[in-house]
């Protein structure tokens, strides 16, 4: 069941916007057994859209068209489709009624142009309750899915409508099982060499690696016609992968590292506080992005200057003058300070040189001290990261959260004390 994606928008072909939605859709379709063989990005140009659409219908078993369904003048997908397929635009009364009702509630009527209600003849609205009018058109037996380009709306349509509907068109059921392992601390090449023998040994198993900085995502996919055999190979593969990657797996599937840390803290009844310098709030922001994090996160401080390290946390001026703000001692005093202030059992502190300036011979750009404080002790370790300012901040935040994860799971404190 091979298909293709046509993504419409001047912003895509001028390179102003990355085509992330097409990539997301391709990935979901691949996992669902409806592989995409071509992704075409074209501008808001009627001739290009028409040519692309007609060629895709001839070539593919299904087509997904994204973008150009909105209310503005450059949104021309419906109009061009009508002309290309010889299907006049028909006023969809249901959408029109929704627009009218919404207009009564909202003064902001420019959002709600009647234009949105004119669809090519034969269009079946995919989500009658939703806001965006994605629709299905079956033309010459080929299902054409017209979806809004806005990532959130596309995602919703794709998962809840398109993929279940595509299964209607599949003659033979293919079973697919997939799991993603989020790995930190090993490069793609290192993972690849660990796995060399795994893939070829298993029927229907494929392993994908893709970097999702600072993590590498490893995906195990098993496809086949026999559901029992697929499940068997899948479980065997997952077990082997878990053994090979060990503690480097920070999370699995949709879960994130910060969610894992939150879950582990809740299990232990522990509460976290944070003191960030060079990461400037990045760890706090990751933690508080999780609904319910108030159950295990008390608060934090961002001590971006020496003065704020003293004033907010009571880091001693002697430590700052003798060892500097970027030091093991300062990191530990920051961790102890915020733990005392917030009255929590756990704290993390991060202080370093994110760059681009501020580096010295002893402490070049990328030098970061991370302190972990638990109910038992406070320990700090020095790390040397490389990359841009932003990359160093991301690596420091990930490392801090990961050290807390390792401590909560295995009782370790950084590499020096980590059991083999």
Q: Which of residues 38-67 bind its own copies (CB under 8 A)?
A: 38-43, 45, 48, 52
Instruction: Annotate 100-165 with DSSP letters as a single string.
Output: HHHHHH-S-GGG--GGGGEEETT-EES-TTSSS--EEEEETTEEEEEE-SSHHHHHHHIIIIIHHH
Q: Measure the CA angle with vertex 61, ends 74 and 76; round to 5°.
A: 10
Give the H/E segment covering residue 143.
Answer: strand 142-147
Taking CB under 8 A as the rule, does residue 265 contact its own copies? no
Site string for its own copies, 322-361 (x = CB under 8 A): -------------------xxx-----------xxx----
Taking CB under 8 A as the rule, does residue 24 contact its own copies? yes
Nearest of 307, 347, 354 to residue 331 by alpha carbon: 347
Which pair of structure tokens corresponds to residue 11?
Answer: 């912003």
User: What DSSP character marks residue 387?
Assistant: S
Q: Which of residues 113-172 bind its own copies (CB under 8 A)?
A: 113, 150
Residue 210, beta-bridge partner list: 217
Choose, by CB under 8 A, the member of 148, 226, 300, 315 that binds its own copies.
300
Choose, by CB under 8 A, the member of 1, 13, 125, 198 that binds its own copies.
13
Q: Which of residues 84-113 bind its own copies (CB under 8 A)?
A: 108, 110-111, 113
Site string for its own copies, 224-263 (x = CB under 8 A): ----------------------------------------
Instruction: Annotate 52-107 with DSSP letters as a single string.
Output: HHHHHHHH-SEEEEES--SSSTT--HHHHHHHHHT--EEE-HHHHHHHHHHHHH-S
**Nearer Cβ to its own copies, position 112 or 250?**
112
Taking CB under 8 A as the rule, does residue 74 contact its own copies? yes
**Nearer Cβ to its own copies, position 56 or 379?**
56
Taking CB under 8 A as the rule, does residue 175 contact its own copies? no
Give the H/E segment covering residue 342.
Answer: helix 328-342
**Nearer Cβ to its own copies, position 56 or 249?**
56
Tell me the torsion sign for CA atoms 116, 117, 118, 119. positive
Part in contact with its own copies (CB under 8 A); list of ranges 83-91, 96-104, 161-169, 206-214: 206-214
**Nearer Cβ to its own copies, position 89 or 288?**
288
Cα separation of 331 and 208, whole Å? 38
Q: Dihedral, CA atoms, 127, 133, 139, 141, nearest 10 degrees?
A: -20
Taking CB under 8 A as the rule, does residue 415 contact its own copies? no
Taking CB under 8 A as the rule, does residue 291 contact its own copies? yes
Cα separation of 286 and 390, whole Å? 15
Using only C-alpha atoms, the chain has a radius of gyration, in whole angstroms, of: 27
Cα separation of 167 and 156, whole Å? 17
Taking CB under 8 A as the rule, does residue 293 contact its own copies? yes
Q: Which of residues 355-374 bind its own copies (CB under 8 A)?
A: 355-357
CB of 179 to its own copies, least distance (A): 12
Part in contact with its own copies (CB under 8 A); list of ranges 99-107, 153-161, 250-258, 290-298: 290-298
Residue with tokens 């200057």: 305
Taking CB under 8 A as the rule, does residue 36 contact its own copies? yes
Choose, by CB under 8 A, the member of 33, 68, 70, 148 that binds its own copies.
70
Taking CB under 8 A as the rule, does residue 317 contact its own copies? no
């Amino acid at each position: 069941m091979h298909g293709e994606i046509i993504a419409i928008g001047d912003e895509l072909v001028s390179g102003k916007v990355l085509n992330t939605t097409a990539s997301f859709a391709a990935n979901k379709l691949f996992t669902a057994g409806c592989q995409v063989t071509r992704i075409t990005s074209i501008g808001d140009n009627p001739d290009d859209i028409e040519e692309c659409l007609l060629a895709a219908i001839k070539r593919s078993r299904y087509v997904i068209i994204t973008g150009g369904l909105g209310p503005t003048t450059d949104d021309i997908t419906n109009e061009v489709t009508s002309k290309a397929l010889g299907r006049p635009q028909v006023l969809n009364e249901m959408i029109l009624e929704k627009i009218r009702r919404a207009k009564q509630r909202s003064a902001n009527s420019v959002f709600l142009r009647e234009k949105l209600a004119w669809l090519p003849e034969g269009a079946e609205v995919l989500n009658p309750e939703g806001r965006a009018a994605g629709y299905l058109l079956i033309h010459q037996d080929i299902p054409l899915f017209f979806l809004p380009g806005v990532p959130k709306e596309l995602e919703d349509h794709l998962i809840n409508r398109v993929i279940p509907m595509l299964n209607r068109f599949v003659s033979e059921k293919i079973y697919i099982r997939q799991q993603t392992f989020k790995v930190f601390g090993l490069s793609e090449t290192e993972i690849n060499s660990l796995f060399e023998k795994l893939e070829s040994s298993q029927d229907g198993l494929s392993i994908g690696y893709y970097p999702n900085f600072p993590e590498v995502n490893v995906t195990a996919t098993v496809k086949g016609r026999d559901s029992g055999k697929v499940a068997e190979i899948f479980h065997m593969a997952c077990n082997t992968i878990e053994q090979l990657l060990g503690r480097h797996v920070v999370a699995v599937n949709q879960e994130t590292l910060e969610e894992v840390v939150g879950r582990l803290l809740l299990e232990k009844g522990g509460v976290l506080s944070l003191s960030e310098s060079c990461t400037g709030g990045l760890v706090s922001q990751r933690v508080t992005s999780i609904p319910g994090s108030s159950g295990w996160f008390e608060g934090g401080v961002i001590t971006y200057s020496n003065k704020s390290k003293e004033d907010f946390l009571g880091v001693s001026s002697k430590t700052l003058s003798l060892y500097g703000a970027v030091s093991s001692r300062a990191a530990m005093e920051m961790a102890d300070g915020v733990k005392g202030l917030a009255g929590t059992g756990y704290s993390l502190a991060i202080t370093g040189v994110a760059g681009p300036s501020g580096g010295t011979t002893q402490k070049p750009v990328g030098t970061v001290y991370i302190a972990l404080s638990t109910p038992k002790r406070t320990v700090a370790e020095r790390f040397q990261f490389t990359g841009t300012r932003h990359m160093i901040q991301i690596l420091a935040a990930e490392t801090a959260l990961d050290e807390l994860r390792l401590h909560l799971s295995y009782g370790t404190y950084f590499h020096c004390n980590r059991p083999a």
